[in-house]
Structure 1
């Protein structure tokens, strides 16, 4: 009798009764992804490029903010960052070694228009042409984000000024015209909530303001208006066949128990709590719940604004990290969020609560609420302590995080939601905004003194996922 027969009959245990087959002999779960699935990594210009005063680049709000004492941990700045402006070819080799077929990058607006508008800077255009051409030569498809928080400092009033939305559209349309013969996928703006609320309500990010509610709502409106005008400008200037979307970190609500009433509560919360951002973009209007809640503080909307904001998209990209848990209740809203308590598991960043189910529910909720043509995960990743031991960085905690989240993304894809690709944040450690260099999100370790890149255990894991095209 072989081992399988013994396990199935139970004789090995002297029970005389048959046991269920051992898991090793059960039909394996299909954890593979479609052949055309896009595997990639993501970065952002200010976080990796450095070279802030080279080749005509203008000053940004993050240059000003990071050089203001006390604003960033350890008074770190992005002046050098990962020096990717000079090392982009080396970083393309990192991507190539992983086996990715895609790369999400952003353009520094102030490299193209030094003051945000006016005469274009050819040296900036040339730089991004070289980056794009290098990626394509390596067989890697670039996905380009037009704005990832680094606003040209010379624009009067910044995001408080409505005209900034139009300046963004001019820049986005211009760059689409320059790149769309080779770049076929553009994202307008990254994470509306971060550069509006964290920058203008909480004051923890550039420009470091704490505005009144009505002023914050107007900044939010200018942000979504910039997105909508940007979509129209890219569509007008890009080559035919260009796909346009947005990369947003909507607040994603997870039903505390997977039952109909809690699922309905999570869906309602997702729509209402993102009313000023993704809901407005996908529906082309501010929903009544938001307007009634804000009252006299609601944003001032001009004719044509909402039509632009609701411009049709070819895809929606989601930055998914941490969940918000929600349950149904008898309140007028019909739901209540459950706070993250001290025992809630987190990664190295205190805000990064570990809740892999958010990967599935984020994709599902956006799909069911707004039925986008396609979805991408434009960011997902984790900070970890990353000690170097005998020349190795065995970040098993990050691998745990990624494995569980990718498993939940697989569930969403397997259930038929239109998930087409995944961009891991991030290719390498970089300038982590107000945390400076104190938090590491990369799957490649960066020694910021020498700029040496060292693959972590997570890079080996991700490489194997890509090689097999399935969850490992």
Structure 2
């Protein structure tokens, strides 16, 4: 049985495990928490449009209000200050800052993020800013299928760098391009809702090209902060010893992990078995200049970890936590459940030891090309219990976060499975309960409970646990 970390003595044990200089932060995304969708000059994003389409969001909710962060900014910064985190990772609402996805930045949007940055810095919290976290302007008609969108991201990065570059400690060009490609363009589960399967692969290249152009724009603006990218990585395990399952596990590893990390860190797309070459025709003739742009040197690599993947040959039922995708029944592989693990509210396996596995894979695959790493997202949704007095008990999240953070630190320690990886920090997803994309309000990840009817916040047991850990990391050493 895994160790439970729920008492204060264990908070102290975890605290002394955290090395000096290691950042602990929380993370959010603009589309999931800000709301104020009708703010003057703000224009729709692809997620606004997607949420308005019947049947797209599980509970029928929209992006209109979400957690109402736009009107509760100071309250939320105060919650972070009370928590004692070192850093806050948030994204810039593209259409709040650049209505229509073209032209100069909007003064109202700029004022909002000016205020957020200033209040964070006043509270001693380091800003980590994500430039693109899924909320493309609807005016980009073909989205990431269009090469021009990469240049739009580069242009947007230049504008925000000039405006905010003096106050941002770390820039993340783009968040989870793997999830955008797989769920948004291959399976139709996320915005913009295309079901193109392997014909979605051009969106890989265009997102990575946009990343490289954004890096160039940030460097040209001489931003003070470090520059990196974030992707979701999953360690992949064959469902059996059969050659077929091994081949499909390798294929899934390529499409989820390798096609995104290899070009950024190694300057080329991964080699694929000859029998699979037709599936990857999108990468057959990539200009060298594109690869040089994509592999612009970065200061850190952001890794989002939620779960491992157990892969078998043969199509599945099409069911997933985000809904049902008929396209999934046309894939040559399927995801199987890890029967030995408990699961989150999303049905994801709780397997903290695989965090060490994925960090070790990054070290082994990329060697000296791997820059310092941050776990830029890690967290879990559960059905939290709200008591009559408004307090929220979430012992499963306490245990989840403690075990995952401890596992990450153990992994990179001497003798650990990822020894040699320069792990710099761990960001908890999420600061507060939010609008969880296609799952709407049905999945709660927050350290802070949000009443989505009133907007009221209530720190959970997990908030108090992390606060205790952060207070004791200095006093207990």
After TM superposition, the score normalised by the length of structure 1 is 0.84
- Assess if the C-alpha contact under 8 Å between 2:432 and 2:448 holds in 1: yes
Alpha-carbon distance between aligned partners in 2 of 1:279 and 1:144, rounded to the nearest angstrom? 23
Instruction: Describe the superposition over 1:345-400 as per-residue Cα deviations: whole angstroms up to 9, x where unpaired.
Output: 211112x2111112212222213322422111100000000121232211111111
Shift of 1:252: 2.2
Q: Tell me the residue number matched to 2:373.
A: 375
Say if 1:165 and 1:401 are closer, same or farther in 2 by CA, change over 3 A. Answer: same
Instruction: Describe the superposition over 1:5-54 as per-residue Cα deviations: whole angstroms up to 9, x where unpaired.
Output: xxxxxxxxxxxxxxxxxxx9xxx999422221111100000000001121
Decide which of 378, 385, 396 is 1:387's aligned counterpart. Answer: 385
Q: Given the alignment of the two structures, is residue 428 of structure 1 paired with residue 432 of structure 2, yes or no?
A: yes
Q: Tell me the residue number matched to 1:307.
A: 292
Decide which of 341, 344, 350 is 1:347's aligned counterpart. Answer: 344
Decide which of 278, 281, 284 is 2:261's aligned counterpart. Answer: 278
Alpha-carbon distance between aligned partners in 1 of 2:456 and 2:399, rounded to the nearest angstrom? 25
Q: Given the alignment of the two structures, is residue 233 of structure 1 paired with residue 217 of structure 2, yes or no?
A: yes
Q: Tell me the residue number matched to 2:413.
A: 414
Q: Tell me the residue number matched to 2:327.
A: none
Q: Given the alignment of the two structures, is residue 362 of structure 1 paired with residue 358 of structure 2, yes or no?
A: yes
- Assess if the C-alpha contact under 8 Å between 2:310 and 2:338 holds in 1: no
Q: Tell me the residue number matched to 2:54.
A: 69
Q: Given the alignment of the two structures, is residue 319 of structure 1 paired with residue 323 of structure 2, yes or no?
A: no
Unaligned runs of 5+ in 1: 1-23, 257-265, 328-335
SS in 2 for 1:58: coil
- Assess if the C-alpha contact under 8 Å between 2:15 and 2:472 holds in 1: no
Greater shift in the superposed pair: 241-250 or 183-192: 241-250
Instruction: Describe the superposition over 1:382-420 as per-residue Cα deviations: whole angstroms up to 9, x where unpaired.
Output: 000012123221111111111111110111232342111
After TM superposition, the score normalised by the length of structure 2 is 0.84
Q: Tell me the residue number matched to 1:250.
A: 233
Shift of 1:303: 4.6
Say if 1:343 and 1:411 are closer, same or farther in 2 by CA, change over 3 A. Answer: closer
SS in 2 for 1:354: coil
Say if 1:368 and 1:270 are closer, same or farther in 2 by CA, change over 3 A. Answer: farther
Decide which of 140, 144, 148 is 1:163's aligned counterpart. Answer: 148
Alpha-carbon distance between aligned partners in 2 of 1:268 and 1:54, rounded to the nearest angstrom? 44
Decide which of 111, 114, 117 is 2:102's aligned counterpart. Answer: 117
RMSD, aligned α-carbons: 2.8
Shift of 1:147: 0.7
Alpha-carbon distance between aligned partners in 2 of 1:50 and 1:85, rounded to the nearest angstrom? 6
Structure 1 segments of 4 or more deviating over 6 A?
A: 266-269
Q: Tell me the residue number matched to 1:219.
A: 203
Say if 1:296 and 1:343 are closer, same or farther in 2 by CA, change over 3 A. Answer: closer
Alpha-carbon distance between aligned partners in 2 of 1:96 and 1:69, rounded to the nearest angstrom? 39
Structure whose alpha-carbon radius of gyration is higher = 1
Say if 1:269 and 1:412 are closer, same or farther in 2 by CA, change over 3 A. Answer: farther
Shift of 1:192: 0.7
Say if 1:254 and 1:377 are closer, same or farther in 2 by CA, change over 3 A. Answer: farther
Q: Tell me the residue number matched to 1:468.
A: 472
Q: Given the alignment of the two structures, is residue 298 of structure 1 paired with residue 302 of structure 2, yes or no?
A: no
Say if 1:233 and 1:325 are closer, same or farther in 2 by CA, change over 3 A. Answer: same
Unaligned runs of 5+ in 2: 1-8, 240-248, 313-332, 415-419
Q: Tell me the residue number matched to 1:38.
A: 23
- Assess if the C-alpha contact under 8 Å between 1:347 and 1:382 holds in 2: yes
Task: State the aligned residue count.
Answer: 427
SS in 1 for 2:99: coil
Alpha-carbon distance between aligned partners in 2 of 1:213 and 1:469, rounded to the nearest angstrom? 47
SS in 2 for 1:167: helix
- Assess if the C-alpha contact under 8 Å between 1:253 and 1:361 holds in 2: no
- Assess if the C-alpha contact under 8 Å between 1:72 and 1:436 holds in 2: yes
Alpha-carbon distance between aligned partners in 2 of 1:449 and 1:131, rounded to the nearest angstrom? 24
Alignment of 1:186-205 (within 5 A): 186-205=171-190
Greater shift in the superposed pair: 184-193 or 385-394: 385-394
- Assess if the C-alpha contact under 8 Å between 1:270 and 1:365 holds in 2: no
SS in 2 for 1:377: strand
Alpha-carbon distance between aligned partners in 1 of 2:373 and 2:253, rounded to the nearest angstrom? 17
SS in 2 for 1:36: coil
Decide which of 112, 118, 129 is 1:144's aligned counterpart. Answer: 129
- Assess if the C-alpha contact under 8 Å between 2:131 and 2:174 holds in 1: yes
